[in-house]
Amino acid sequence: MAAGILQCRRFMLKFLGLYFFTYLQYYSQTADARIRHYKWDVKYEYKSPDCYKKLVITINGRTPGPTIVAQQDDTIIVEVMNSLITENLAIHWHGIRQRETPWSDGTEGVTQCPILPGETFKYQFKVDRPGTYLYHAHYGMQRTAGLYGLIRVSVRDGDSEPFAYDYDRSIILNDWYHNSTYEQATGLSLPSTNFIWVGEPQSLLIHGKGKFNCSSTVASSPSWVCNESNPECSPFVITVIPGKTYRLRIASLTALSALSFEIEGHNMTVVEADGHYVEPFVVKNLYIYSGETYSVLIKVDQDPSRNYWMTTNVVSRRPPTAPTGLAILNYYPNHPRRSPPTPPALGPIWNDTEPRLAQSQAIKSHHSYIHTPPPTSDRVMVFLNTQNTIDGYRRWSVNNVSFNLPHTPYLVALKLNLHHVFEQTTPPTGYDFKNYDIYSKHNNSNATSSNAIYRLQFNATIDIILQNANTMNINDSETHPWHLHGHDFWVLGHGKGKFDIYKDPRQYNLVNPIMKNTVPLHPYGWTALRFKADNPGVWAFHCHIESHFYMGMGVVFEEGIERVGSLPSSIMGCGDARGLGRP
Amino acid sequence: MAAGILQCRRFMLKFLGLYFFTYLQYYSQTADARIRHYKWDVKYEYKSPDCYKKLVITINGRTPGPTIVAQQDDTIIVEVMNSLITENLAIHWHGIRQRETPWSDGTEGVTQCPILPGETFKYQFKVDRPGTYLYHAHYGMQRTAGLYGLIRVSVRDGDSEPFAYDYDRSIILNDWYHNSTYEQATGLSLPSTNFIWVGEPQSLLIHGKGKFNCSSTVASSPSWVCNESNPECSPFVITVIPGKTYRLRIASLTALSALSFEIEGHNMTVVEADGHYVEPFVVKNLYIYSGETYSVLIKVDQDPSRNYWMTTNVVSRRPPTAPTGLAILNYYPNHPRRSPPTPPALGPIWNDTEPRLAQSQAIKSHHSYIHTPPPTSDRVMVFLNTQNTIDGYRRWSVNNVSFNLPHTPYLVALKLNLHHVFEQTTPPTGYDFKNYDIYSKHNNSNATSSNAIYRLQFNATIDIILQNANTMNINDSETHPWHLHGHDFWVLGHGKGKFDIYKDPRQYNLVNPIMKNTVPLHPYGWTALRFKADNPGVWAFHCHIESHFYMGMGVVFEEGIERVGSLPSSIMGCGDARGLGRP
């Protein structure tokens, strides 16, 4: 009897221990804010997100990983245990500015050395603004293996938002490949004569679930590899109550695809973008690019006797692309698995840039939450986006310089004056505006690779003009979502064609520009941004398409390095940073 | 004109630079011995060793990697550049004792931290004995990705060997899997209810070449994935001149399979095993286990009008196993691609242990090269080899303890007194000899996992009795090739059934036992070894089957740690070793 009780107690203790290990989140109430403490175990597992079984990287057994739910001013601590056997790891907290904690940005090669297998790395940062943010792997092409998730930060107690809703729901969109990140990266690393492009994804996932047509494979797969009736890949369902209003937080972490998202029969009112309140506007299709987050409001006001499709489709890439991604908006009390009686939407025309540009231009700051940008800038840089062949390799470049990461993180190198670990030149801040034809195919044979960075004067106001151009294929220009770490920027404008440094700035929106951390550069277009270099640290700014950044489409900014506090030794395990900063 | 010359000079310099980078080996003549300096770039590439295209790990573009050719007393320097993108690396020099350089043994978790992507690690060691040795990855299950090769050490100038031959040729045997090391390791790491065994290999490779039946796949593969006429997988050919005698150095680095190897119509005279001269004996089939090397002599004395098959077949595993591996012994001047007119040998009966045991017992030291073992030992350990379920996971164990590697290498931990990084208990040195029935299936429910090690008195003589037993399947006992790092051991005997500590030692061969570094433990049998703990360092002793070691089938010995010289900081990049030892 006593033994039985003892055994039961042991079991309970074990169970509780396990529970705390797999998802430990405790609340330490302080005067204003709480500490939210997570313990994550990151490992490879077999999963079938789109019915096709493959190795994915999970956090505590899940992909997408757990949503971090916090309140403004909270401190987030995530202890990441790397259980990937022989592979390293780094996790970026996308949209979190990391003020006073630049070493927690999670960008391998920029702010930290990678986390080794068997090691635990502690990320600690403050979520200083409400809104919808992301996290994902930021090392090699590891993000495409499934290490990603959401961060939801609510307003302070007593604060209100400029819109009302009954319930808050989240959706992460993603595209999904069946080959491994190693296979993808190896193909991209081959000389251009043998270059293997990653190609279009096999599926689109809505909140981690998609449906691959198992009989569509060139080599048809046995049912233990691909099984469309596997419950793991049953469509994602959001159950809604008629009459209510829902806030949907919609995020994209695609490797490649620009997406449209729509909910059959329901308009969406856009109210938040990348953590900033938007002057509300209504869309039927929401265009969303990798690295962006939006909140939309929907009213549950349609025929309550049925369910509705939520669909996502690829835009800006030539078909055939991945088939429509499907989820179900389930009108309670209909059965959540009941398919809507109508065919799912196939989305807008893939190469119609106009409505995408129009949406980009429609996003303005909410009138009660305007952060007015400085009226002028201290430094203007124009970044021409091109595809090149450099030393026989296919690369992406900015002003004909293709970016390579160094093996000693910049943050450590700059703080500790290890100037030999990366090139000390300044990359170009413009291109041959006068003569370069952005509409034609160029060889750009003078392009080079470099790990040099831009050093910004602290507190300076910086303007960046992203200039799109033709790729190495005739009549082809791609969409590039550019993401800035450590900052939000004002989106001053989007335009078509070659940016005119004399005329176009006159059209800048200096009144109510939205602030964002990720913004699309449309085909053959330009996008103008402004930001204050007011966050001491070293920050990546790059195309958020995984393969594009891997192929060199990024730059790095340093600002106020002398104001960065003492670096934790945990970021210093590699290159010339090895063993530095140890107490 | 001058510009043309300049351009030509630039090209030549570039070409030479490239040449030196890809295979740099220069000779620095010293008084007695040379330094042989290699620079290796290790990366993922697509290859089709058995006609099936997959990612493999290459050294300077090759798998198997380049053969290291050296002379006794030479110093080998290999600078290994890790270009694996996000994966770490460690390379073990198998059979090299690493006297005075225990930090160059290349065993992740035991003698070093892994090499990070982008980093270069310098291995430096002396090849102090002539013979045939190996190298391969020793980190996770990375070896199965194709990182392996041969080391051939010739005798000193003026020294002779106890046999004569005209030419010296090498063959590495391997088994080959189509899934990745990550897929294999992940499957093995699942709870036993979902455990996915690696299964039998898809092919056997002879010197990196095999032939998979492309139409045999469950899901038949498109020709760009599997193509039997790809020249990459044309059979390996050794061209021989009639009348000559060849020394063939035959090595096995299989992940799983025990092999037999035969050359149609040719007897093989075994003359070397693991770098030691053997009292010559003749075989038709050579049985060879993972981690072993042999030299055999063959006389080119058959019908010269045709070629002959060299074949390798799996033994000791229940069919269906991988099909016969084929290579061609090409009698000059026949065409090297001409298939022999006869069907290839299918090898011996898979479960006939007798001839394998007989071969093990036939290997004795050459009478002119006997190193007499110490007549008695100072310490005897009996290692029961069992399969277990521990905490819900399928594992292999020694005396009911399944081995886990720590994340701080033992060598660093012991030298720098970091005693908290691994368990300080001593693992058991025996099992319940009296009551344990080795012929029946046991639950071994008291089995545990541990990273504790055996600490040996310096210069003590150690006897190890490897005792085989039944696995967790009825009527099943496997072959385990055990490999000892840092030493050769005397093979005192092999026997059937349960080792009798009173009777069996009387049968020990103390007269002319062969010394080896790898030895098989046959099904339901025992193998007795003796070695001197005379090499200061920390040394792994483990089953050389990749999945078995990964599942815990190994132990570690420490000896004379206080005599180990100053550790290089390059081995200290992980766990509690991070940043220690930096100048």
Residues of A in contact with B181 (CB under 8 A): 86
Instruction: Return residues 396-415 of A near B (CB < 8 Å).
Output: 407
B46 near A CB under 8 A: yes
Examine the domain organization and report whether B318 and B443 are in the same domain: no
Confidence of residue B63 (pLDDT cuts 50, 70, 90): very high
- The pLDDT confidence band at residue A28, using thresholds 50, 70 and 90, is very low
In a domain, B316, yes or no: yes
Q: Check CB contact of A574 with chain B, cutoff 8 Å.
A: yes
Looking at the complex, report in whole angstroms how far the Cα of residue B445 sits from the nearest Cα belonging to chain A.
17
pLDDT band at B578 (very low <50, low <70, confident <90, very high): confident
B388-to-A69, B427, B445, B519 alpha-carbon distances in Å: 41, 16, 7, 23
Range of the domain at A174: 167-362
Judge if A249 and A298 occupy the same domain. yes
Cβ separation B578–A580 shorter than 8 A: no
Confidence of residue A31 (pLDDT cuts 50, 70, 90): very low
Around Cβ B583, how many Cβ atoms within 10 Å? 4
Which residues of chain A does B222 touch, with a Cβ-Cβ cutoff of 8 Å?
218-219
The CATH number of the domain where A191 resides is what? 2.60.40.420
Query: If DSSP codes are grouped into helix, strand and coil, which group holds residue B574?
Result: coil
Average pLDDT estimate for B461-483 = 97
Distance from CA of B440 to the nearest CA of A (A): 30
| Edge-first strand listing for the sheet containing A480-484 | A454-456, A554-559, A537-543, A480-484, A518-521
For chain B, give the mean pLDDT.
93
Measure A49 CA to nearest chain B CA, in Å: 17
B58 plus B120 within the same structural domain: yes
Q: In this predicted model, what pLDDT tens digit does every residue of B247-272 receive, in sequence order?
A: 999 999 999 999 999 999 999 999 99
Q: Average pLDDT, stretch B167-191?
A: 97
d(CA B476, CA B393): 19
Residues of chain B contacting residue A581, judged by C-beta atoms under 8 Å apart: 579
Higher per-residue pLDDT: A215 or A165: A165
Question: Which residue from B85, B88, B114 is facing A185, i.e. has the nearest CB?
Answer: B85
Q: With a cut of 70, say whether residue A217 has pLDDT above it.
A: no
What's the confidence (pLDDT) of residue B28? 43
Question: Does a structural domain hold residue B564?
Answer: yes
Residue B210 and residue B344 share a domain:
yes
pLDDT value at position A218? Answer: 57
Report the pLDDT averaged over residues A80-102: 98
In this structure, are B326 and B347 located in the same domain? yes
User: Region B120-130: what's the mean pLDDT?
Assistant: 98
DSSP string, A362-419: H-BB-TTS--PPPSS-SEEEEEEEEEEEETTEEEEEETTEEE---SS-HHHHHHTT-G
- In terms of CA atoms, which chain B residue is nearest residue A215? B219
With a cut of 80, say whether residue B407 has pLDDT above it.
yes
B409 compared with B222, residue with greater pLDDT:
B409
| Smallest CA–CA distance from B138 into chain A, residue | A86
| Min distance A58 CA to chain B CA atoms (Å) | 12
The residue with greater pLDDT, A444 or B283, is B283
Q: Average pLDDT for residues B356-374, to the nearest whole number? A: 98
What average pLDDT does chain A have? 93
Contact between chains at B185 and A221 (C-beta distance less than 8 A): no
Co-location of B245 and B350 in the same domain: yes
- The pLDDT of A242-255, averaged and rounded, is 98
Nearest residue in chain B measured CA to CA from A84: B182
pLDDT score for A216: 78
Which 348-407 residues of chain A touch chain B by CB within 8 A? Answer: 407
Is A179 an interface residue toward B (CB < 8 Å)? no
Does residue A440 share a domain with residue A552? yes
Q: How many contacts (CB atoms, under 8 Å) link A and B? A: 135
Name the residue among A196, A575, A579 with its Cβ closest to that of B582. Answer: A579
Q: Which of A133, A154, A175 corresponds to the end of one domain? A: A154
Q: Spell out which residues of chain A touch residue B219, defining contact as CB-CB under 8 Å.
A: 217, 219-222, 225
| Residues in chain B within 8 Å Cβ distance of A569 | 578-579
The yes-or-no verdict on residue A101 having pLDDT over 50 is yes
pLDDT digits (tens, 9 = 90+) for B531-559: 999 999 999 999 999 999 999 999 999 99
Q: Does B420 touch chain A (CB under 8 A)?
A: no
Within 427-446 of A, beta carbons closer than 8 Å to B belong to none
Question: Is B319 at the interface with chain A, CB within 8 A?
Answer: no
**Interface pTM (ipTM) of the complex?**
0.92
Give a yes or no: residue A2 inside a domain: no
* DSSP bridge partners of A459: none
**Statement: residue A315 has pLDDT above 90:** yes
pLDDT in tens, B380-398: 999 999 999 999 999 999 9
Does residue B576 sit at the A interface (CB-CB below 8 Å)?
Answer: no
The pLDDT, as a whole number, for residue B217 is: 64
> A197 to chain B nearest CA, in Å?
14
Tell me, yes or no, whether A79 lies in a domain.
yes
* Mean pLDDT, residues A146-166 taken together: 97
Answer yes or no: is A102 within a domain: yes
Provide the percentage of residues in chain A whose pLDDT is more than 70.
93
pLDDT confidence of residue A51: 96
When CB atoms are compared, the residue of B113, B219, B575 closest to A220 is B219
B312 pLDDT higher than 60 = yes
pLDDT at B1 over 50: no
Q: Taking CB atoms and an 8 Å limit, are B118 and A574 in contact across chains?
A: yes
Pairing mode of beta strands B554-559, B454-456? parallel
pLDDT exceeds cutoff 60 at A180: yes
Q: Which residues of B touch A580 (CB under 8 A)?
A: 579, 582
Q: CA A71 to CA B367: how far, in whole Å?
A: 80
B183 shares a domain with B35: no
**Shared domain check, B324 and B468:** no
pLDDT of amino acid A220: 62
| DSSP code at position A324 | P
Q: Taking the CA of residue B467 as centre, how many other CA atoms within 13 Å lie in the half-sphere pointing to its CB? A: 25
Last residue of a domain, one of B337, B362, B387: B362
Q: What are the pLDDT digits (tens) for B414-442? A: 999 999 999 999 999 999 999 999 999 99
Residue A17 has pLDDT above 80, yes or no: no
Are A556 and A541 in contact, with CB atoms under 8 Å apart?
Answer: yes
Q: Of A186, A220, A222, which is closest to B55 when you measure between CB atoms?
A: A186
Report the percent of chain B where pLDDT is more than 70: 93
Q: Are the CB atoms for A325 and A311 separated by under 8 Å?
A: yes
Sheet holding B308-315, edge to edge: B236-240, B325-331, B308-315, B258-263, B286-288
Contact A197, A478 (CB under 8 A): no
pLDDT class for A6, splitting at 50, 70, 90?
A: very low
What is the C-alpha separation between A262 and A274, in angstroms, rounded? 19
Claim to verify: residue B327 and residue B202 sit in the same structural domain? yes
Question: How large a percentage of chain A has pLDDT more than 90?
Answer: 90
Q: How far apart are CA B327 and CA A321, in angstroms?
A: 44
Q: A55 and B186 in contact by Cβ < 8 A?
A: yes
Give the per-residue pLDDT at A222: 78
**What pLDDT was estimated at residue A19?**
44
CA A65 vs CA A237, B391, B571: distances in Å: 17, 26, 34
Least confident of A20-34, B149-163, B334-348: A20-34
Q: Is residue A270 part of a domain?
A: yes
- pLDDT level of residue B223 (50, 70, 90 thresholds): confident
Same domain, B348 and B489: no
Q: What is the pLDDT confidence band of residue B580, given thresholds at 50, 70 and 90?
A: confident
pLDDT digits (tens, 9 = 90+) for B512-527: 999 999 999 999 999 9
Q: Give A116's contacts in chain B (Cβ within 8 Å).
A: 88, 113-114, 116, 407, 573-575
Q: Does A285 touch chain B (CB under 8 A)?
A: no
Q: Which residue of B has its CA nearest to A583?
A: B579
| Residue A239 and residue A177 in one domain | yes
The mean per-residue pLDDT over the stretch A368-396 comes to 97
**pLDDT tops 50 at residue B56:** yes
Chain B CB contacts of A222 below 8 Å:
218-219
* Cβ–Cβ < 8 Å for B88, B139: yes
pLDDT above 60 (res A582): no
Asked whether residue B65 is domain-assigned, the answer is yes
How many domains, in total, are found in chain A? 3
- Closest CA–CA distance from residue B119 to any residue of chain A (Å): 7
Distance, in Å, from the CA atom of A131 to the CA atom of B132, rounded to the nearest integer, reads: 64
Give me the residue from B113, B220, B407 closest to A219, CB to CB.
B220
The answer to the question of residue A6 being in a domain is: no
Q: pLDDT tens, A464-502?
A: 999 999 999 999 999 999 999 999 999 999 999 999 999
Whether B192 shows a pLDDT value over 50: the answer reads yes
Boundary (domain end) residue, out of B119, B154, B189: B154
